[in-house]
Structure 1
Amino acid sequence: MTHTCDVAIIGAGTAGMAAYRAARVHTERVLLIEAAHYGTTCARVGCMPSKLLIAAAESAQGVREAHRFGVQAEPPRIDGRAVMQRVRDERDRFVGFVQDTVHGWPEATRLFGRARFAGAGVLDVEGQRVAAKAVVIATGSRPFVPPGWRERLGARLIVNDDVFNWVDLPRSAAVVGAGVIGLELALALHKLGVRVRLFSRGERVGPLTDPELQKLSRTIFAAELPLSLNATQLDPLPDGDQVLIGGERFDTLLCAAGREPNLDDLGLDTLDLPRDDQGRPLVNRHTSQWGGTPVFIAGDATDDRALLHEASDAGRIAGDNAARWPDMHHRPRRTPLSVVFSEPQIALAGASHAELLADGSHFDTGRVSFANQGRSRVMLVNRGALHVYAERNTGRLLGAEMIGPAAEHLGHLLAWSVQRGDTVRQMLDCPFYHPVIEEGLRTALRELHSDLHLPAPPIESCMDCDTEAEVGG
């Protein structure tokens, strides 16, 4: 059987679904090809089930911490089966919404099977031929596992995808990889009573790049749970039903050592597509085009900012331009924003410290510690710090990094300011209520404005009217 279409989309995850919607604005001749299952990484094994587990962990931690407010409570009893039942039930609910959406699209625009390029504009889908004017690759990514570990450890080794199918919590778990996924899951399991050790291959814990904040994050998380840094020579071994790693035995080893794009077995060797020195696709982020051909790629398959909103944006751009081919449009991208739902939370907004240094940017840094910030102390979440970065000559906000309370919310405020092109003075002229955690941001902005040595604001500016009467602002 031969199918002809204007746009063929390989993969029905977040990027693929966004590409499908965007392409169908221009043409009905769209074909969405999926080889495994409908349902995004976010809904099945990513954002949503992980936050369900984290919510349970935070609830347990809240009971443990109640005595610090003078509230006496019994130590929490963790019902692992009940915890995982809610995780699975809600996970299935989220996945169901995605499946309902895809199944609601015309059947003629969906094809199930594994796709491979048989040549330019030609796909083979398990014996069926697809001829397309343009192709969007949205095949996502999968967890990376070091060679030999699966064969050696068998069922004792799991990846984050497996966690959310648990019926009960394990007694102990080694977590390898201190990036976003490993850090979130290690902390959640630890708070739920699982004996955990987190192994990091280097000095970094989490995605922070500012040296001062990275050092602080190591200190904070080392006090939270057992942490092994510079664990580069790990050699996990089976030991009965357990895993022996780093001199300790665990019921399971959760490998969170990164992810790799699903680009193998696509027949890409039949196409002349450019890659960088590490084999990653060279993609125009503003068109999603890969090379000079009508091949577009979006989402985690690009190995670039593996976040849902980024995948959705890239998929929309890819689908729109694939349907327009060859009349493509360059689309703007949103300001970078990433959040880690650890405790305390982590957020990066705009350019990171490392990116600013790499670009040779001339910038100053404003700092605030949350240790004595008023509202943070009231709620006993007074850990962490915020650094904000501004351009030296103009005072324009360039980016921020933080570890601390309400980072998911402060991160949004900061990303919005970066995207608008706000200056530090413009941000200080905005209202700050009292007492709120956002007052910590104002403290950092005040320090930054002073360091920038910019002209004083006009007399009508409200910034000159701010008082220091509040405690710990």
Structure 2
Amino acid sequence: MRQIDTDICIIGAGSGGLSVAAGAVQMGARVVLIEGGEMGGDCLNAGCIPSKALIAAAKAAQAMRDGARYGITPVEPEVDFGAVKDHVAQVIQTIAPIDSQERFEGLGVQVIRAWARFTGPDSVEAGETRIKARRFVIATGSRPLVPPIPGAESVPYLTNETIFDLRERPAHLMIIGGGPIGMEMAQAHRRLGCQVTVIEGSRALGRDDPELAAVVLHRLRAEGVDILEDAEVTALAGAAGDITVTLKDGRTVQGSHLLIAVGRKVHLESLNLEAAGVQHDRKGVTVGADLRSSNRRVYAVGDAAGGLQFTHVAGYHAGIVIRQIVLGLPAKARTRHIPWVTYTDPELAQVGLTEAEARKEHGAGVTVLCQEFHHNDRAQAEGKTTGLLKVMVVKGRPVGVSIVGPQAGELIGLWAFAIASRAKISAIAGMVAPYPTLGEISKRAAGAYFSPKLFDNPMLKRFVRLVQRVLP
């Protein structure tokens, strides 16, 4: 068995691992990157990229149905489901070289394609190679969680890792799980011609502001998605093409395909973390704000760190770790400025505190600003007026923003920046937004914070009358 001595050993070539590897090696560190699966991880191969490519195809199909309001005769699209999957595969193939083994080896990273396991506090084995490193970064990501539902062991089901391989359109897709993945896949498949039923044990999109989530759920139901809430699944039965889901109240749902989308499980089992003295639980590696584990040589990023499970969080964590293990500078991760988006139509985006969270934390000290999309001229021109923006303000600074509406995922970026930089609401109000854009809705919301002070202030009105009398 050969041995490599290096500065940094990274386990996992997903978003977080690749970001650490690229940054560290280009700054001069010796880097070994270990990956037993596909380069690019879940995001490229079975998550963000294929799902958004599928959503784009579904959006194109829906546009053909929605032409009447623009004076265009609506038609029912002819969907070639196999060709849609070719589009998804092509998008992955186009992006893949950025995450490829060849690119990273070209940067100077030693890439080992094997599964890794710790053999001690400062050593890892992968295939026929033993790696000793000054620092390790666990970036193994997560995989779909399959709950222990009776019958799951014998019934064929899909997860996000397998659904994009389907070439034949499902006649009736049943989805267990009403979170972001479940709702995105529900709308996309409905728009591509499938009958779709979503089964959620509690409240669909339960993590988001219920007022805004209701807008998304109303749209999906209007498009023909059947959404069952407070519907606990107790059993699965059947075979390929004919599957039955039994609910706790005795109801049954029958369909041709079943997608399980109830959450993610961190991938740590094969790492032998006990040998390295790394504490962990079912949520992930136990880390502090500096992302360092109980073994001072070992850090964790992204899903493996046990927090928010988003690709952009893994990239953010990579920067925190690089500052420490490459530059020797202190750094700590925060979460209040991390945005997330559900890419339904309309989109649903959040950063910081929701209204309920802000009121619980700040009580009467929170001001909630609201702006509806139907007041935005660009939204009117586009015929996309359904939506709402909420800004939660405390002591003149935004502490949370919720948006449902067209391009909410793009609009949330400004507010993520504002919260990250602790900007005052006056900075957004003073911004000049181009006209007509959806972005004006953020400026109008911020301006509304000052409206009572300007327009409902008797003292100010008396002062203005005085000024008008003395002005030459």
Q: Give the TM-score range, shorter chain.
A: 0.7 to 0.9
Aligned to 2:145: 144
Aligned to 2:437: 436
Aligned to 2:261: 256
What is the CA–CA distance in structure 2 between the aligned matches of 1:255 and 1:79, rounded to whole Å?
Answer: 24
What is the TM-score when the length of structure 2 is the normalising length?
0.86
What is the CA–CA distance in structure 1 between the aligned matches of 2:319 and 2:440, rounded to whole Å?
Answer: 37
3-state DSSP of counterpart to 1:97: helix
Are the aligned partners of 1:35 and 1:115 in contact in 2 as well (CA < 8 Å)? yes
Q: Cα offset for 1:303? A: 3.1
Aligned to 2:179: 179
Q: Output aligned runs, 1:323-402, within 5 Å.
A: 323=326, 327-330=328-331, 335-353=337-355, 355-357=357-359, 359-360=361-362, 362-371=365-374, 373-391=376-394, 394-402=395-403
Aligned to 1:406: 407
Matched to 2:237, the amino acid is L
Matched to 1:32, the amino acid is L
Evaluate the alpha carbon distance shift between residue 274 and residue 449 of structure 1 in structure 2; reply closer, same or farther with a 3 A threshold.
farther
Are the aligned partners of 1:13 and 1:38 in contact in 2 as well (CA < 8 Å)? yes
Q: Cα offset for 1:422? A: 2.6
* Stretches of structure 1 lacking an aligned partner (at least 5 in a row): 460-473
Aligned to 1:282: 286
Q: Does residue 244 in structure 1 map to residue 248 in structure 2?
A: no
For this pair of structures, how many residues does the alignment match? 447
- Runs of 4 or more, structure 1, over 6 Å off, are 451-456
Q: Cα offset for 1:58? A: 0.6
Q: Cα offset for 1:372? A: 5.2
What is the CA–CA distance in structure 2 between the aligned matches of 1:232 and 1:428, rounded to whole Å?
Answer: 46
Aligned to 1:46: 47
Root mean square deviation of aligned Cα: 2.8
What is the CA–CA distance in structure 2 between the aligned matches of 1:25 and 1:433, rounded to whole Å?
Answer: 38
Cα deviations by residue, 1:19-58 (Å, 9 ceiling, x for unpaired): 1123325554321111122223222112221111111111
Are the aligned partners of 1:84 and 1:168 in contact in 2 as well (CA < 8 Å)? no
Aligned to 1:160: 160
Evaluate the alpha carbon distance shift between residue 374 and residue 22 of structure 1 in structure 2; reply closer, same or farther with a 3 A threshold.
closer
Cα deviations by residue, 1:186-213 (Å, 9 ceiling, x for unpaired): 11111111111112221132641x3432
Cα deviations by residue, 1:245-274 (Å, 9 ceiling, x for unpaired): 252321211111111111112111234444
Query: Which stretch shifts more, 366-375 or 70-79?
Result: 366-375
Aligned to 1:315: 318
What is the CA–CA distance in structure 2 between the aligned matches of 1:81 and 1:112, rounded to whole Å?
Answer: 31
Q: Cα offset for 1:9? A: 1.0
Cα deviations by residue, 1:384-427 (Å, 9 ceiling, x for unpaired): 21111111xx3111220011122122111222222333322332
What is the CA–CA distance in structure 2 between the aligned matches of 1:172 and 1:379, rounded to whole Å?
Answer: 32
Are the aligned partners of 1:22 and 1:317 in contact in 2 as well (CA < 8 Å)? no
Q: Output aligned runs, 1:297-308, within 5 Å.
A: 297-308=300-311
Q: Cα offset for 1:298? A: 0.6
What is the TM-score when the length of structure 1 is the normalising length?
0.86
Evaluate the alpha carbon distance shift between residue 422 and residue 252 of structure 1 in structure 2; reply closer, same or farther with a 3 A threshold.
same
Percent same amino acid among aligned pairs? 26
Are the aligned partners of 1:40 and 1:95 in contact in 2 as well (CA < 8 Å)? no
3-state DSSP of counterpart to 1:49: helix
Q: Cα offset for 1:65? A: 0.4
Are the aligned partners of 1:296 and 1:322 in contact in 2 as well (CA < 8 Å)? no
What is the CA–CA distance in structure 2 between the aligned matches of 1:78 and 1:141, rounded to whole Å?
Answer: 32
Aligned to 2:220: 221
Q: Output aligned runs, 1:72-221, within 5 Å.
A: 72-99=73-100, 100-106=102-108, 109-126=110-127, 128-147=129-148, 150-153=152-155, 156-205=156-205, 207-208=207-208, 210-221=209-220
Are the aligned partners of 2:273 and 2:279 in contact in 1 as well (CA < 8 Å)? no
* Stretches of structure 2 lacking an aligned partner (at least 5 in a row): 247-251, 461-472
What is the CA–CA distance in structure 2 between the aligned matches of 1:298 and 1:158, rounded to whole Å?
Answer: 27
Q: Cα offset for 1:60? A: 0.8
Q: Output aligned runs, 1:20-59, within 5 Å.
A: 20-25=21-26, 27-59=28-60
Q: Cα offset for 1:216? A: 3.9
Q: Cα offset for 1:332? A: 6.2
Matched to 1:389, the amino acid is M
What is the CA–CA distance in structure 2 between the aligned matches of 1:262 and 1:359, rounded to whole Å?
Answer: 34
Are the aligned partners of 2:119 and 2:276 in contact in 1 as well (CA < 8 Å)? no
Q: Cα offset for 1:331? A: 5.1
What is the CA–CA distance in structure 2 between the aligned matches of 1:454 and 1:265, rounded to whole Å?
Answer: 64
What is the CA–CA distance in structure 1 between the aligned matches of 2:344 and 2:16, rounded to whole Å?
Answer: 26
Are the aligned partners of 1:364 and 1:452 in contact in 2 as well (CA < 8 Å)? no
What is the CA–CA distance in structure 2 between the aligned matches of 1:452 and 1:303, rounded to whole Å?
Answer: 44
Matched to 1:284, the amino acid is G
Relative contact order higher in (CA < 8 Å, ≥ 6 apart): 1
Cα deviations by residue, 1:323-378 (Å, 9 ceiling, x for unpaired): 45xx4521565831222211001111233345535644732111123345443233
Matched to 1:283, the amino acid is V
Q: Cα offset for 1:177? A: 1.2
3-state DSSP of counterpart to 1:84: helix
Aligned to 2:469: none
Matched to 2:182, the amino acid is G
Matched to 1:281, the amino acid is V
Matched to 2:423, the amino acid is D
Q: Cα offset for 1:64? A: 0.2
What is the CA–CA distance in structure 2 between the aligned matches of 1:264 and 1:117, rounded to whole Å?
Answer: 11
Matched to 1:213, the amino acid is L
Are the aligned partners of 2:387 and 2:403 in contact in 1 as well (CA < 8 Å)? yes
